[in-house]
Amino acid sequence: MQLIERIKQHTGIALVDAEQTVSYVQLVKQAEQVASQLAAHQLVALVMENSVVSIIDYLACLMARAPMILLSDITQLELYTEYQPNFLLHSNQVSALTPLSVGQKTHDDLRLLLSTSGSTGSPKMVRLSAQNLDANTAAIVEYLELDSTARSITSLPLTYSFGLSILNSYLWVGASLVVTKTSITDKAFWTLMKEQAVTSLSGVPFHFETLQRLRFFNMSLPALKVFTQAGGKLRNEVLQAFAEHCQANGLRFYVMYGQTEAAPRISYLPPEHLLEKIGSIGISVPEGKLTLVDENGGKITELELEGELVYQGENVMMGYASSRVELSLDQGVQTLYTGDLAKRDGDGYFYITGRKSRFIKMQGKRISLAHLEETLKERGVTENACLGQEDKLVIAYANSQHQSTIVAYLQELSVHPAFYQLILLDRIPYTNSGKVDYPLLKREARWL
């Protein structure tokens, strides 16, 4: 794997946290010690926190060619029993879970399994190969113009494909990463930003909305040069404010678009075109290709005509999995039908216009509305319907006693109250065909 070979060649500082500085030489040595306790092509359930020890564990799995499922905490292990993980890895400690003789051997190229549906608990996983990860990392490094002088900070969870891609790309070029569990609302985060001279800050729309409220533009951060934003559409007025700030202060702001299925980056908007192309997801990442197709799968060549966004590239996943037996499957066709509707302007820049299916981005995580509905039904909220759009979730229900159940579930998913609305109805409306009448619900909501 190119990522590992590159890491082994670097000699500078790799990771910094509040207590220590870890060189690339030390990082490789410690990862190799953990890797020696693992087995190639045997599945690892890795508890991946924003910590130095977790990053060592992650690299150990890559070195051992042991594919991994990333867990935000150990309690998530029970969600993935269908995959029969052979090892549990947490804080450099390896525990055997399933004998190596039990469970089908995974594909030789498989390296990583990531959830497709944010924090909703769906066991469906994206299968990513060494090639997928290497191809996407190389593309990110190229368009961000990264080199060994760059320094980022873990402002996003490393279990999230965006956060993990930052780790991969910075290690690829021999740059450094400040590792912290603190958030952008914590004073300690900004202390680290200043003391460690962080040059790049990344976030989802929620982060940049919060930064604007925190009067970020008044902060003194002389080392900061680059912003990267993904995880959903940032409101144009917020983006405009950041674009103008960056233009006035010689900073770069990259708007990016991606999906976990593409490991995860698909497109980026070059900073020099940010103000003139506000709202655009930009152009394909290097070595990738973006096209639009109509409802029949025919290629759309006309400008400003809406169609489904399709991406082709070596970073497109091997395919999906829902059980251990599917981890041995080969690489699928490297064409990704994103499910997003988009249009293309005369300069070849793409703009997302909607979704084909019922998924939304909630605080940077993709959530299946159908999965939300089914889970609520399983918890006794038999009459419910979910709809929404970027960072706006509406849940309609028909029994006032169920409100506490719904709120408790949303708390489990870490959905902030500012991003959802509950509507109590006499009954959930249905069409003549027996399906929930979502257009009528949308009119009832008055929030979307």
The residue ranges of DSSP E strands in 62-204, in sequence order, are 68-71, 87-90, 93-96, 110-115, 125-129, 151-153, 176-178, 200-203
Token pair of 55, please? 């990053």
DSSP string, 393-423: EEEEES-GGGHHHHHHHHHHTT--GGGEEEE
Task: For residue 92, name the pLDDT band (cuts at 50, 70, 90).
Answer: very high
pLDDT of residue 444: 77
Instruction: Give 143's Cβ-side CA count (13 Å radius).
Output: 25
| Span 133-143, pLDDT tens digits | 999 999 999 99
DSSP character at residue 58:
H
**Whole-number percent of the chain with pLDDT over 90:** 76
| Span 364-421, pLDDT tens digits | 777 878 789 888 988 999 899 999 887 789 999 999 999 999 999 999 888 889 889 9
Task: For residue 353, name the pLDDT band (cuts at 50, 70, 90).
Answer: confident
pLDDT of residue 336 exceeding 70, the answer is yes
DSSP character at residue 305:
-
d(CA 169, CA 187): 27
| Span 109-120, pLDDT tens digits | 999 999 874 444
Helix (H, G, I), strand (E, B) or coil at 206: helix
pLDDT of residue 13 exceeding 60, the answer is yes
pLDDT of residue 19 exceeding 80, the answer is yes
Rounded to two decimals, the pTM is 0.83
Question: Alpha-carbon torsion 262, 266, 271, 275, what sign?
Answer: negative
d(CA 428, CA 385): 7
pLDDT of residue 194: 96
More confident residue, 389 or 299: 299
In the chain, domain spans: 2-354, 359-445
Helix 52-64 / helix 24-35 crossing angle, nearest 10 deg: 60
Domain covering 2-354: architecture? 3-Layer(aba) Sandwich (3.40)
d(CA 239, CA 242): 5
State residue 274 phi and psi, 5-degree precision. -60, -50
| Span 249-262, pLDDT tens digits | 999 999 999 999 99
Please tell me the least confidently modeled range out of 34-38, 175-179, 209-213, 242-246: 209-213
| Cα→Cα distances 194→117, 126, 150, 209, 262, Å | 35, 37, 14, 21, 33
In this structure, are residues 358 and 370 in contact, taking their beta carbons and an 8 Å threshold? yes
Distance from the Cα of residue 87 to its chain's centroid: 24
Domains 2-354 and 359-445 share a fold: no
Q: Other C-beta atoms within 10 Å of 392: how many?
A: 16
Q: Which of 96-110, 117-131, 256-270 has the highest mean pLDDT?
A: 256-270
Q: Other C-beta atoms within 10 Å of 259: how many?
A: 23
- Mean pLDDT of all residues belonging to the chain: 92
Task: For residue 432, name the pLDDT band (cuts at 50, 70, 90).
Answer: low
| Span 311-331, pLDDT tens digits | 999 999 999 999 999 999 999
The pairs formed by 369-375 with CB atoms below 8 angstroms and a separation of 24 or more are 371/117, 371/120, 371/121, 371/122, 372/120, 375/120, 375/121, 375/409
pLDDT of residue 354 exceeding 80, the answer is no
The C-alpha R_g of the chain, in whole angstroms, comes to 22
User: 């929404």: which residue's tokens?
Assistant: 388
pLDDT of residue 98: 85
Read off the amino acid at residue 321.
A
pLDDT of residue 433 exceeding 70, the answer is no
Just give the CATH number of 359-445: 3.30.300.30
In this structure, are residues 67 and 39 in contact, taking their beta carbons and an 8 Å threshold? no
**Whole-number percent of the chain with pLDDT over 70:** 97
